[in-house]
Structure 1
């Protein structure tokens, strides 16, 4: 088709003969025009391949930036957790020190009473000398044993409290070290994210410039305006994206239907015929899989409404509003409006929610992308808006958007807050 259009353009735009009586183009002229058209078509195909490569490079750079940005969010989240643990450990250490001081005072009093005021053994011996009788001696001996027993209890309490205080102090020291390590990790992650985002931004600028150059060249080859070439390229990319999204959706639906049609594993029949048993046991439990908890329609509706109100806001890595967002910052803000607290980290959002399947999705649920089936590989999250659509903050250069869940590559994880 391109060759035909180009051939027509070559023939139509050929210099007009000054004399209408001039003979029509010869066979050699036609063959030369065809050759030029075929060469131009090959050049156009090459240019299109170069544009596709540039787009792929841009997407790869954007993914690296998303991974780095979410790694930074994860490092910040772990730092906050470590600092909380360090504060708690410090409080526990102080409580242990106060308890030790109290027990230490009791133990000190016991020492003074027992060994300065007189040892139990000497008191018992004096009692034996001064005793009026055996009964009195036994009573005095029992008193000494009681005093000694109380002293031993106070000493044991002191030793226990001292051990607890030492353990608590060590735990506080370890927690402080963990917090310091987490702070160092967060700083490194921030630097990595800054580098990745800068690289992605540079890649976007480079790809934009390269596409502009290639489209201008294509326009010259096809004899059309640059604006028309750009408009056609945008339409082509949009069509490809929609086709890829539709194909991904159909494939996932087929996988889900196949999983639902899979027959359950057959169990060995019982040795003897038995009457059918009730599906429930004495506790009311059944063998059926537990369905996911129902969506909090009020909270979910508020979350979706909040996300919709942010449409058009710019993507800024590590941002969580009020006028700029990254992916997990947007879902955190949305569900905060829905009455639930989520961390500013996509992996933790998945871990703190209830995993569900694609077929169970309801508005307000979370949709995740990871580099593998492991939850630890998640690097992007979106809010499901219903009808196969999501609201998310995609990447640098793209604002908060409502688009197909399959706009990119199929999601890998789904969860309900």
Structure 2
């Protein structure tokens, strides 16, 4: 018999017990007398309890299925952002390789110029050699003055020749250094390209895995919903609606709890900072008061303390443009590596939004954080960026969203979910915040 039938039988048995008045004496225990025995009542109650436990078990398995779906989506998001990071590094190394190649060209031109100058100096020295040798200067000189003049000219020519040679050698050395740097930069660029291809393949595999996991979870959830409908003696459609409502309620409660915890932590930090400020001792002693003439007490002056760096200015008009842009993308699909115009990943959306606001950001969540000003959760204003990382290091960031105020964000969550507006505590509490 199905669990649902067992539960209904248990309920009917209990109803029979409640409907028939108790019979005194041994008759209550007589078999076949029409009255359930105490054991039968216990069995009925146990069956009802088992049915309730079965419903709870199915709901727990549904929650576990949703958790698996979330974890596979998070793994896909991490892989996608690692690919974005690899592409970002590949672009940087390619730019460095181009710059190094330009330096090689410039250094080569300088070598050619120095070589030509040195060659000219050699020719000139050769042409002047017969008349500038020491013996020739003495033999052909009209007097000591001529000897001195010709010796001076000879030394100047030798010095010029040495200078040309030194210039040529220096240029050649710089050219060799530039060439070595260019080779190294080209090797780095090639390695970065390989890394990007590997990261792309890993992102594709993670996305495929997440999609397959989503299909498995969807099939399993369909079976669990059907089982739940049988246990609750209701239709599958109603069971789906009930389960969706329960999951939505649980998500809202979790988001509210996370928000309250974050607010409490912010309040405690602010209270600690205020207490530290109020306990700063004054270094200037107050002047002793005279016993004869009371004076009006004055507030002692506090010494100047090194102030903490001021928070970055609030988002300008560019923030409103960024928010408007993000709102216009609501409902558009997620696709890893996409930056519009009709599909987005998380950092592609925030890059596009702030691009509309006049600020250029890279297509990589870690670099977006690095190129922005870190702020606290309590300082968030519309247009700021909210980040999720797997550790306390910014290098672990793998997801980013645009804060729009009121605890709400707009982001491209994952494959299977379009650009959406929801609580920034919809999943787990973010751990990094920044202002472009």
Same fold (TM over 0.5): yes
Q: Secondary structure at the match of 2:426?
A: coil
Q: Secondary structure at the match of 2:401?
A: strand
Aligned to 2:148: 138
The correspondence for 1:154, drawn from 164, 178, 181, is 164
The correspondence for 2:111, drawn from 91, 95, 100, is 100
Q: How does 1:112-131 map to 2 (within 5 A)?
A: 112-114=123-125, 116-119=126-129, 122-131=132-141
CA deviation profile, 1:198-220 (whole Å, cap 9, x unmatched): 11111111111101101101111
The correspondence for 2:400, drawn from 368, 381, 389, is 381
1:223 matched to 2:242: no
The correspondence for 1:185, drawn from 182, 189, 195, is 195
TM-score normalised by length of structure 1: 0.90
Q: CA RMSD in A?
A: 2.6
TM-score normalised by length of structure 2: 0.86
CA contact (8 A) 2:282 2:301 kept: no
Q: How does 1:16-415 map to 2 (within 5 A)?
A: 26=36, 30-114=41-125, 116-119=126-129, 122-262=132-272, 263-264=275-276, 276=301, 279=304, 287-415=306-434
Q: For the structure 1 residues 9 and 120, does the alpha-carbon distance in structure 2 shift closer, same or farther, using more than 3 Å as the test? A: farther
CA deviation profile, 1:214-256 (whole Å, cap 9, x unmatched): 1101111110111111111111111111111111111111111
* Larger CA Rg, structure 1 vs 2: 2
Q: How much has 1:160 moved relative to structure 2?
A: 0.6
CA deviation profile, 1:337-375 (whole Å, cap 9, x unmatched): 000110000000000000000011110000000001100
Provide the rounded CA distance (Å) in 1 between the counterparts of 2:101 and 2:113: 19
CA contact (8 A) 2:327 2:410 kept: yes
Unpaired runs of 5+ residues, structure 1, are 17-22, 280-285
Q: How much has 1:273 moved relative to structure 2?
A: 7.0
CA deviation profile, 1:172-203 (whole Å, cap 9, x unmatched): 11111000000000011011111111111111
Provide the rounded CA distance (Å) in 1 between the counterparts of 2:35 and 2:230: 24
CA contact (8 A) 1:121 1:144 kept: no
| Number of residue pairs the alignment of both structures matches | 400
Q: For the structure 1 residues 226 and 160, does the alpha-carbon distance in structure 2 shift closer, same or farther, using more than 3 Å as the test? A: same
Provide the rounded CA distance (Å) in 2 between the counterparts of 1:15 and 1:42: 21
Q: For the structure 1 residues 76 and 25, does the alpha-carbon distance in structure 2 shift closer, same or farther, using more than 3 Å as the test? A: farther
Q: How much has 1:74 moved relative to structure 2?
A: 0.2
Extract structure 1 runs of 4+ deviating beyond 6 A. Answer: 6-9, 12-16, 265-269, 271-275
Unpaired runs of 5+ residues, structure 2, are 17-32, 288-299
Q: For the structure 1 residues 102 and 50, does the alpha-carbon distance in structure 2 shift closer, same or farther, using more than 3 Å as the test? A: same
CA contact (8 A) 1:9 1:223 kept: no
